[in-house]
Amino acid sequence: MGVGFVFPVIMIAGVLCLRESPRWEYRHDKKDSAERTVCLSYGVGSNHKEVVREMREIKAKLDAETVGTTKDRLVGVLTGPRMLYRTLLGISLQALQQLTGANYFFYYGTQVFAQVSPSLVAFAVSMILGGVNFASTFGGLYVVENFGRRKSLIFGGLWMFMCFMVFSSMGTFLLQPAVNAGTTDRTAGLVMIVFACLFM
């Protein structure tokens, strides 16, 4: 468990070296510092068209956010054009993302995979799943950028459903009866591991 502290400490140390976001600086009347941060982000001078465009965009967003009272802005989140739909869609996607079942593998994976074979190091399988999860993030970003969010969500949902059906069927009908009989079904266990990786 101590290894889990290493990466947050690295992140905290890294964040302490970061500049404030240009939007935060602009909001707090530090316009020169905001412009400098944007210049550093793009690696260009202050006269570059991207810096000018982003500074103009920051100003426009800040102006739009400060129109009306705080109550008007909060109510606008729900009463603006299709804003209730968008808000509920965002909440639903985040909730469903947490309910897909991936956390099952991270929380109970070592117990499940320990039943595959006494010689199998269940912790190693959990580390493999974590590595697959991390590496798949980059593939997921590529897919979303090239195929769009809607198609990616639909295909991803169907893919996860198929993988979970195979995983649960193997566990229910092959692995669990073998465990109950005091033996193991290594083939079923390996298929479960493969489909857990495919699910990720």
- Asked if 109 and 174 sit in the same domain, the reply is yes
Do 129 and 161 lie in a common domain?
yes
Given a contact cutoff of 8 angstroms between Cβ atoms, the answer to whether 194 and 162 are in contact is: no
pLDDT attached to residue 116: 66
87 and 105 inside one domain = no
- Residues near 195 by Cβ (< 8 Å), separated by ≥ 6? 163, 166, 167, 170
pLDDT at 184: 75
Ranges of residues in the chain whose predicted pLDDT is under 70: 68-73, 115-122
What is the rounded distance in angstroms from the CA atom of residue 99 to the CA atom of residue 95? 6
**Which residues, 6+ apart, have CB-to-CB distance to 44 below 8 Å?**
50, 51
Question: pLDDT tens across 150-159, in order?
Answer: 999 999 999 9
Which residue range forms the structural domain that includes residue 90? Answer: 69-99
Alpha helices in 66-121 (DSSP H): 70-79, 83-98, 102-114
Q: For the segment 169-198, what is each residue's pLDDT rounded down to a tens digit?
A: 998 998 888 878 877 777 888 888 889 889
pTM: 0.65
> Does 8 fall in a domain?
no
Residue keyed to tokens 């493969």: 194
CB-CB contact of 170 with 192 (8 Å): yes
Domain boundary among 55, 83, 99: 99
Spatial separation of the C-alpha atoms in residues 128 and 62, rounded to whole Å: 45
Count of domains for the chain: 3
Q: Is residue 84 part of a domain?
A: yes
